[in-house]
Amino acid sequence: MTSYVVEADGGSRGNPGPAGYGAVVKDAADGQVLAETAESIGTQTNNVAEYRGLIAGLTSLLALAGDGAKVEVRMDSKLVIEQMAGRWKVKNEGLRPLALQAAALARRLKVTWRWIPREKNKDADRLANEAMDAAAKGRTWIASASSAPVGGAIGASGTAVSGSGAAATLTGGGPAEDLLLFDTDDLGAGDSGGGVVIREPAGRTAVSTGRGTGWRPPTSVATSLYLLRHGETPLSVERRFSGLGDPELTPNGIAQGEAAAARLAGESYGIQVIVSSPLRRARATAEIVAARTGLEVVVEEGLRETDFGDWEGHTFTEIQCRWPDELAAWLADPSAAPPGGESFGEAARRVQATGDLLIERYEGKTILAVSHVTPIKMLLRFALLAPLSALYRMHLDLSALSLIEYYADGPAVVKAFNDTSHLR
């Protein structure tokens, strides 16, 4: 029997426009509202707001009931329900990270997905409209008297406000702020963001799990993905396009790999898995690290560099002279491919599938992935929810180290970028 119901909604005034979402958690037996959450999220599309509402609803349920709870998720968005149920593909690249985040939360629960007409989604719709109204006025959502239940409203500042204005404690004994995504230390005095309203029904006790790091629920275990660009090659010395061509490392490139290996072999890194692009320059770098850590290298085809086609081995100036129109199109449009090569859009799909596979296969572990400029930038921009055009605004040095941490019940977090301190 389903124990809970999550109803979620989101929308914008203009699509895109001032946007907000709302979600409620109910007891499936009697329909009692156990938690409400809403947030004004600036200028976004309807679909983004709907996914944000779903994520907020699932997060609220996990905070209330923990892993393994049975829940029926109800939304009036046919798109979100069908995509989450696996019947429709997520084709919009901007929605994919949100869909992955929602799916990760759903895997911790026993979920049934159900589409409902808007008139049956009144509670979530009301909250979403309140949040949209707040966004249109440049304000944050504040629980209204009708939505703030007995026991207090919990705001994103991390303080549970009771009727007396004092900090509230839930019946489990832990501070109410422990149920929030953010701790008070991480938000300035003027920040309020979204709010969560929690009700404790008779006989049900909230579980306090202790304080987290401030950027994720305290029960999360990170999957850490270190991203290491390979060392120097003859083509990188001459600043030539190097895609699927297979140059070896230079002596300096080997030294760069040794420096990275000495750093990564330290106990503080705790590398447990090493994966590598199949191309020789990446594999050689990975093998150097493997020799220092005692690990084997697992080759992942999806970590290979973009295929630059006819531009392979040429300098930017040479390409500009021989293929000026094609180069201009490639720089302006990530869906444009070099002659005989691969577009960044095509590379993005390949890299995303590989990244998802690694995070699922090695969940909770510390992974080192040795790869190239494009795949590393792709993984970073996925974590940042950035558009494809962000690739043109990132620079990666040879042997540079970056770090992304993934949380099953929260967002991916970029912890380091283009760190070359081991080369100094």
Tokens read off for 376: 């590393």
Question: 175: which DSSP letter?
Answer: B
d(CA 137, CA 168): 30
Q: Residues of 231-254 as b/e, b for ≥16 C-beta within 10 angstroms?
A: bbbebbeeebbbbebebebbeebb
Question: 165: which DSSP letter?
Answer: S
Q: Are 209 and 221 in contact, with CB atoms under 8 Å apart?
A: no
Residues 6+ apart with CB under 8 A from 256: 231, 232, 285, 398, 399, 423
d(CA 7, CA 130): 16
| Residue in the structure block whose two tokens are 């999220």 | 41
d(CA 376, CA 306): 11
Q: Are 277 and 307 in contact, with CB atoms under 8 Å apart?
A: no
Of 329, 357, 364, which Cα lies nearest the Cα of 344? 329
Q: Active-site residue numbers?
A: 230, 305
